[in-house]
Structure 1
């Protein structure tokens, strides 16, 4: 198993990879509704000659090639967001059209393209008879769009699947990523005192307090600072929802709720973020809000299993000189004779669980572009699929050197 063989097979199977992606796109697979696409992926893995293919308890497909004493996992979530406004799509979102070197449709970049390249990589590794140090695990995970990382929290904590290394195949434009900001969600409860709308001076408006609290979050966002080495950049906070209610439409509202999306840079965590929200609102209102808390997420997946977690997704990164990053750089250079750009994602991935929560070294390398995620007319390049198939097959070899 060498560079030349890997490149030849990745090219040979380029159309096969694109066609597998097209098949996935043609099956709508929203979060918790992934059953049909998982069944299709299981058949693809079996056809590719995987040594083992199974479903975990949450519904993710877990494929294995090899029996080495160490384990590297390649991960793709295979659920997608919904279509949005259909009128903004030039082609059917579930067409899976392959044309002019592009695959079209929802999930092409985010992120079934990575899944298709993983299947081809498994086929290459199996076909070339790899019997080295690494068991290659290929995970096609569910419910990521709803709750990133929960699928891996389940695999690690409930099924005790703990790889030595993880590769996320989220879109990176075939660049090497080594981290991203974390995130969390918060709810803020504010109380007022109701009175008749004809005499607002008798009450205390929760609406006006909520407005001042929202402006306090705008100030907090402006005050947040980047991480020390400015790799991940500054954290952010945004008010994504405001709800106000009272006894009637002719009354001063006595209850308000703000929903916050907080992105966390290196060195920031949930306790810090909650304390900042409380302090800034206290400064704006002259009193602390009634409650600031982090909600929980629980949803029943397609296998009728309830699982959940708090809506906290820790920041993660690994050093540029980490052996996994170095191996990734070597793999790319060995294959293509060029240096690979090292960067980070803007959005969040399952790395929040593998590396952020469980400290398993994780990198990213995937087909397609971040900007395609959740956008209409989503595409990915067939050439990217070929590059990624070869990269995934080469990486275990580079880790052994």
Structure 2
């Protein structure tokens, strides 16, 4: 059992340390993140992108003497929104991220992308510098939360932003980059890594996934179960499914290929919600399934080919 730190800040960074420094390399991992009563075999990846725009400050009484970085960023933000919202057949310079569900744009991985769901992007933070409230802003920056489906890599996502019409319009005044994470842990340890969290999917037939499915069917049947109050969101979804959000599995399997599967108490919709709730009955349900699954797991069926899709890995040395 591993209780990890800093997962909310930098998914899987703790497992990079466990794998590379502590040298712990398990045969497979069960993640206990909330799964809405389902058994989860994958999820989208994500990355954190920063866009910096430079301008020239001047007195606010004569703004034409300066170059307002916030106005430039406004154009870029509109294009980022279009990248998320547009379709892929529109007659526009910006094809929407939904394009990765289409075999025309993602011939090798569109089926995996349809299982995971389309990628998304949203502006999550905005920053600026200005000498005062009566001056033109000389810089502006935004953070973009980018969720990545099968077929997308950190390089392709950076290039998409770099190729937005507004980014190209402002040329050298715009810089697109990936965040690096270097916050110290509670012990003071710093483990620097890029803010890139790879996509992963397992085969439903993989032995570690099959062990949980067989255990669930033997204990509880082949339908999702859970607290009556939460079943309105769970009902109708396949037992073997995927997460909407991201977990530490981005490193465990996404980077290192250690097979992962998820089954945990609680509902995804409750994560980060005000007055978050975990249903008490989910706790013994999960505990029982973990024990049964480990007893049903057949290591002789593990052939090193559990993974359906893993995103391109990094060299962990991005600057």
Aligned to 1:275: 159
- C-alpha contact (below 8 Å) 2:121/2:145 kept by paired residues: yes
Aligned to 1:377: 275
TM-score by length of 2: 0.78
- Alpha-carbon distance in structure 2 between the residues aligned to 1:313 and 1:270: 9
Aligned to 2:79: 216
- C-alpha contact (below 8 Å) 1:221/1:236 kept by paired residues: yes
Pairing 1:80-95 to 2, within 5 Å after superposition: none
Pairing 1:42-191 to 2, within 5 Å after superposition: 138-191=1-54
Deviation string for 1:314-354 (max 9, x for gaps)?
11111222222222211111222335501111111111111
Aligned to 2:183: 299
- Alpha-carbon distance in structure 2 between the residues aligned to 1:371 and 1:288: 41
Ranges in structure 1 where 5+ consecutive residues have no aligned partner: 1-137
Superposed displacement of residue 270, structure 1: 0.9
- Alpha-carbon distance in structure 1 between the residues aligned to 2:156 and 2:42: 20
Aligned to 1:246: 130
CA gap 1:247/1:303 in 2 versus in 1, 3 angstroms = closer
Superposed displacement of residue 281, structure 1: 4.8
Structure 1 residue 344 and structure 2 residue 207: aligned? no
Deviation string for 1:15-68 (max 9, x for gaps)?
xxxxxxxxxxxxxxxxxxxxxxxxxxxxxxxxxxxxxxxxxxxxxxxxxxxxxx
- Alpha-carbon distance in structure 2 between the residues aligned to 1:357 and 1:379: 31
Structure (1 or 2) with the greater strand fraction: 1
- Alpha-carbon distance in structure 2 between the residues aligned to 1:268 and 1:306: 29
Superposed displacement of residue 218, structure 1: 0.5
Superposed displacement of residue 363, structure 1: 0.7
- Alpha-carbon distance in structure 2 between the residues aligned to 1:281 and 1:255: 19
- Alpha-carbon distance in structure 2 between the residues aligned to 1:233 and 1:257: 29
- C-alpha contact (below 8 Å) 1:185/1:294 kept by paired residues: yes
Aligned pair count reads 264
- C-alpha contact (below 8 Å) 1:197/1:250 kept by paired residues: yes
CA gap 1:395/1:192 in 2 versus in 1, 3 angstroms = same
- C-alpha contact (below 8 Å) 1:278/1:289 kept by paired residues: no
Deviation string for 1:102-144 (max 9, x for gaps)?
xxxxxxxxxxxxxxxxxxxxxxxxxxxxxxxxxxxx1111221
Superposed displacement of residue 307, structure 1: 2.2
Aligned to 2:251: 353
Q: Which moved more, 1:213-222 or 1:297-306?
A: 297-306
CA gap 1:249/1:378 in 2 versus in 1, 3 angstroms = closer
CA gap 1:232/1:338 in 2 versus in 1, 3 angstroms = closer
SS in 1 for 2:82: helix
Superposed displacement of residue 370, structure 1: 0.9
Superposed displacement of residue 172, structure 1: 0.7
Superposed displacement of residue 308, structure 1: 2.9
TM-score by length of 1: 0.63
Aligned to 2:150: 266
Pairing 1:220-235 to 2, within 5 Å after superposition: 220-222=83-85, 223-225=96-98, 226-227=100-101, 228-229=110-111, 230-235=114-119
